[in-house]
Amino acid sequence: MIANLIFSILLIAAAWLFTRNVRRIAGNIRMGKKQQINDQKGLRWKRMARVAIGQSKMTSRPLSAIMHIFVYVGFIVINIEMLEILIDGLFGSHRILSFLGSAYPVLISAFEVLALLVIIACIIFLARRNLIRLWRFRTREMTAWPRSDANIILVTEILLMASILVMNAADGLLQLRGDPHYAVVGSFLVSDFMQPWFAGMSSSALITLERASWWFHIIGVLIFLNYIPYSKHFHIFLSFPNVFYSRLEPLGKMTNMPAITNEVKMMLDPGAATEAAQAEGEEMDQFGARDATDLTWKHLMDAYTCTECGRCTSSCPASITGKKLSPRKVVMDVRDRIEELGKHVRKHGEGSTDGHSLFDRISGEELWACTTCNACVHECPVDIDPLAVILELRRYQVMEKAAAPGELNATFNNIENNGAPWQFSHEDRLMWTEK
């Protein structure tokens, strides 16, 4: 009874803390500008099924795809066993789902196979990061914390899966010994092979091992649940809505600013433009984005959805050729900046600023190294759009600060004076045709 009470208290505390952390992140995302995304819902559902659920973008790198599918499917399916653990913990039962009869050992055996595959996949992922040391996991934005975060996640998943197998192995031995609390429910595919490891232990020691593994697993899950909001692993929750709300327009299409569109319309047709401006009701106080709050909520959701896998950076031609740009760093900088702003606002109130901006993290050299080729957008397995952020920051530099590179400023001047990007006047434009 005391164990059930302790379990209930831990479960309620973990759920409360997780809810609080999620609300904090949701509040940070809502600090972004409003953006209406409610079109073509059927197409969006199909895209989410294909990209987020079906993992279609992972297939470009087969080894990673196979390993990630093991972890992904294992995470989802093994949660069914978590349901049984939660019920047992709340009501003091033992293997409550065993009423399924002969289907129960088949179900648990499937869980165990997936748990073993998850362990194998995580070991391979750890080796790729720490032994093989793939380049995309060692770029400059992958500082001590991002690298440690990935390792913490992988090691935790190995320990959680191993605890299930140890628990089932001890449980199986106790079933064979006829312990009254451990009713015979059948043999399990993987843990049965582990039973010889513990066969020399007494029944009381096996009970201690089984209970310790049970508590280790559930407490580990609750701790991991509350670690996730501080980790890149939060993408397991946000990847589905992020893909659903991803843009359906052609890649690289720039978002027009309604206020500027109305000004152009006013030049062409003052009456129609005035009506359009009234209908739009937009007040333009700044061009582009200076800080994270100048981006839309979707840009900020992108930042929190980032898996830090580095596929964007490893496919970016600017990054590959030694330029300073890393699309992953841009997304991580947005996330870190909105976290910083969120803490400041919660401490000092709405409307307060800390005197910093995104440009303290992202340099002009990074922004203008981008070729707008959309390789990063195409590669991202959860449909993050780093280019959209880069273009908004560029727009601010050009239209607010006139801080474009010299070559672009010369082009702008030529367009203004000559109606073309070249420095020749209208009269001289065809002189090259003369012999």
The residue count of the chain comes to 435
Position 180 scores a pLDDT of: 75
Tokens of residue 282, six digits: 């937009």
Confidence (pLDDT) at 24:
95
Looking at residue 423, its pLDDT comes to 80
Give helix then strand counts, H and E, for the chain.
18, 0
What is the C-alpha separation between 283 and 263, in angstroms, rounded? 12
Average pLDDT of the segment spanning 150-179:
91
Residue pLDDT, tens place only, 35-52: 888 889 999 999 999 999
Alpha-carbon span 287 to 170, nearest angstrom: 64
pLDDT at residue 284 above 70? no
Q: What is the pLDDT at residue 51?
A: 93
Radius of gyration of the chain (CA): 28
The 10s digit of each residue's pLDDT in 328-355 is 999 999 999 999 999 999 998 887 888 8
pTM (2 decimals)? Answer: 0.88
Mean pLDDT across 395-424:
86
In order, the DSSP letters of 157-209 are: HHHHHHHHHHHHHHHHHHHHTT-TTS------TTGGGGHHHHTTS-HHHHHHH
Q: Taking 90 as the threshold, does the pLDDT of residue 308 lie above it?
A: yes
Q: What is the pLDDT of residue 122?
A: 94
User: Which range has the worst mean pLDDT, 211-220, 294-303, 399-408?
Assistant: 399-408
